């Protein structure tokens, strides 16, 4: 199956070719992998990039070997990487060949892992694209407890501008209180940045910009929520 991993094919076109080795329709393939036909259609035709978990399920269903699965995961990260690191991921890597090297972080640097959406949802996967300096007012001995994300969208204007960098504390759900700024990931693996309010079993995620409605989720519909400790504009 290695011939499908061609530089002239998009991630969606590669997924289509993988599907067509066994199934004629989105519905048949999606049923086997256990998600919706519409989600599969978006992957093939609309640039939707699935999570590593879903890619692993696709690889298992279509009997991809470990090298092919890793290649598929790399191509997914390459396609959804922010523009700042497109150059870093630009070179096509032959399966089994040398892997890209990551910059070695200094003692007071933290990983910039992804973008989160302040408007429409953006699927993100925590992959270390870059490193940035830990702000001086955060204790350097706790550097491994933080990571950074960047904002896309306008729903949090004027508080958070498009491109602002958020410093996030890992595994901090238990310390979050009403009106904290958080990033969260829903069951569809979309990431957002909002203010959160608690109401019994509901989480109400609010925007500053009145053009964007609140997002209301059951706690069970949110698979990750972590507190924003500070903002770098």
Assign residue 150 the CATH number of its domain.
2.10.109.10
For residue 70, what is the enclosing H or E element?
helix 66-80
Cβ atoms of 225 and 173 within 8 Å: the answer is yes
Query: For residue 222, how many C-alpha atoms fall within 13 Å in the half-sphere facing its CB?
Result: 22
Residue where a domain stops, chosen among 44, 61, 89: 89
Same domain, yes or no, for 132 and 188? yes
What does the pLDDT average to over 76-85? 58
Cβ atoms of 69 and 5 within 8 Å: the answer is no
Same domain, yes or no, for 29 and 126? no
Residue ranges with strand state E in the chain? 109-117, 122-123, 130-133, 146-152, 165-169, 181-186, 190-199, 202-206, 215-218, 222-232
* CA pair distance 147, 134, nearest whole angstrom: 9
Query: For residue 174, how many C-alpha atoms fall within 13 Å in the half-sphere facing its CB?
Result: 1
pLDDT classification of 204: cutoffs 50, 70, 90 = very high
Burial of 75 (0-12, 13-18, 19+ CB in 10 A): buried
Is residue 100 one of the residues assigned to a domain? no
* Res 122 pLDDT > 80: no
Residue 155 has a pLDDT of 55
Domain residues for the domain of 166 are 109-232
What does the pLDDT average to over 84-102? 45
Is residue 104 one of the residues assigned to a domain? no
- pTM, whole model, 2 decimals? 0.50
Token representation of residue 207: 């925007």
Give the distance between the most distant pair of CA atoms in the chain.
57
* Res 86 pLDDT > 50: no
Same domain, yes or no, for 84 and 124? no
The 10s digit of each residue's pLDDT in 131-165 is 888 887 787 888 888 888 877 766 566 667 777 88
Q: What is 191-216 written as a DSSP string?
A: EEEEEEEEETTEEEEE-SSTTS--EE
Total domains in the chain come to 2
Token representation of residue 39: 């989600």
* Res 105 pLDDT > 50: no
Q: Which residues, at least 6 apart from 139, have a Cβ–Cβ distance to it below 8 Å? A: none
The 10s digit of each residue's pLDDT in 32-76 is 888 888 989 998 898 888 888 888 889 898 888 888 888 888 777
Assign residue 12 the CATH number of its domain.
1.10.260.40
Asked whether the bond before 37 is cis by omega within 30 degrees of 0, the reply is no
CA angle 100, 101, 104 (to 5 degrees): 160
Is residue 159 one of the residues assigned to a domain? yes
């Amino acid at each position: 199956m290695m011939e499908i991993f061609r530089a002239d094919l998009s991630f969606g076109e590669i997924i289509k070719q993988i599907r067509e080795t066994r199934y004629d329709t989105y519905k048949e393939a999606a049923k086997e992998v256990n998600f919706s036909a519409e989600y599969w259609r978006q992957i093939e035709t609309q640039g939707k990039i699935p999570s590593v978990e879903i890619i692993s399920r696709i690889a298992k269903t279509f009997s991809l070997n470990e090298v092919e699965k890793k290649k598929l995961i790399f191509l997914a990260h390459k396609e959804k990487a922010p523009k700042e690191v497109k150059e870093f991921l630009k070179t096509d890597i032959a399966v089994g060949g040398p892997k890209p090297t990551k910059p070695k972080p200094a003692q007071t640097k933290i990983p910039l892992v992804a973008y989160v959406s302040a408007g429409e949802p953006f699927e993100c996967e925590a992959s270390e694209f870059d490193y940035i300096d830990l702000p001086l007012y955060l204790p350097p001995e706790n550097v491994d407890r933080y990571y950074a994300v960047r904002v896309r969208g306008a729903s949090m204007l004027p508080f958070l501008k498009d491109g602002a960098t958020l410093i996030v504390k890992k595994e901090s759900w238990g310390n979050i209180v009403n009106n904290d700024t958080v990033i969260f990931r829903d069951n569809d693996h979309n990431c957002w940045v909002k203010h959160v309010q608690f109401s019994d079993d509901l989480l109400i995620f609010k925007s500053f910009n009145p053009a964007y409605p609140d997002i209301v989720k059951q706690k069970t519909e949110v698979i990750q929520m972590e507190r924003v400790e500070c903002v770098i504009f």
